[in-house]
Chain A
Amino acid sequence: ELKVEQNPLFLSMQEGKNYTIYCNYSTTSDRLYWYRQDPGKSLESLFVLLSNGAVKQEGRLMASLDTKARLSTLHITAAVHDLSATYFCAVGLSGGGADGLTFGKGTHLIIQP
């Protein structure tokens, strides 16, 4: 059974600081997703990571993937209040197919002005 663990589950930080969210998964996977969810809203796709060593950046967010360690990170640089949201990582089983995604519990991020 594929398990996905995120930490921390809750993070309160000040604007201007840097921080990293970690996502560990238990089984070989060929795709890892990061999503953002605002309160009462749907999931917004941030990144899809496919290969070992993959790094993607969008604004103040940067995601990376280490398939050997089964670890992905989401790094926030110089946080701003608008980045306050819940962030989820999700993993799909290798080989694609219709297995759906297994999500982590989410990291509730609050950025204080």
Chain B
Amino acid sequence: KAGVTQTPRYLIKTRGQQVTLSCSPISGHRSVSWYQQTPGQGLQFLFEYFSETQRNKGNFPGRFSGRQFSNSRSEMNVSTLELGDSALYLCASIPTIGSLGYTFGSGTRLTVV
């Protein structure tokens, strides 16, 4: 059974650019949530998707957005990158909304220069 696949693993971007990260959940899982991990703020919830709909969003500016496709794959986008957006972005695969099991991917390490 394949795990959670996040691509790319590493990314370097320049301030002001935009970036798109991808997450493919475990086969059969229908919900995906995203987290940002930084040394200063720790792990913070970004948003959660179920059935192509954003169900909830954390306290992040509108530059952070996402979407989920019919095959449950999810993308998150960050526009107008700032240095503070440098972080490890983790995606969690969840069987369905309200399920207990969160399986995290290996993450995408984004560096903004």
B58 within 8 A of A: yes
The residues in B between 64 and 94 inclusive whose CB is less than 8 angstroms from any CB of A are 90
Which secondary structure dominates chain B's binding surface?
A: strand
CB <8 Å contact, B98 and A41? no
Assuming the contacts A43-B90, A88-B43, A106-B42, asked whether A101 and B102 have C-beta atoms less than 8 A apart, the reply is yes
CB <8 Å contact, B90 and A31? no
Alpha-carbon separation in the docked complex, A33 to B33 (Å): 15
Chain B's interface size range is 20 to 34
Chain A's interface size range is 20 to 34
CB <8 Å contact, A98 and B56? yes
Assuming the contacts A42-B104, A43-B90, A45-B103, asked whether A101 and B45 have C-beta atoms less than 8 A apart, the reply is yes
CB <8 Å contact, B55 and A98? yes
Assuming the contacts A33-B102, A42-B90, A42-B105, asked whether A100 and B58 have C-beta atoms less than 8 A apart, the reply is yes
Alpha-carbon separation in the docked complex, A42 to B104 (Å): 7
The residues in A between 2 and 32 inclusive whose CB is less than 8 angstroms from any CB of B are 31
A binding-site residues for B, Cβ under 8 Å: 31, 33, 35, 41-45, 48, 50, 88, 90, 96-106
Q: List 9 A-B contacts (CB under 8 A).
A: A33-B102, A42-B90, A43-B90, A45-B104, A98-B33, A100-B45, A101-B35, A103-B35, A104-B42
B binding-site residues for A, Cβ under 8 Å: 31, 33, 35, 42-48, 50, 55-56, 58, 90, 97-107
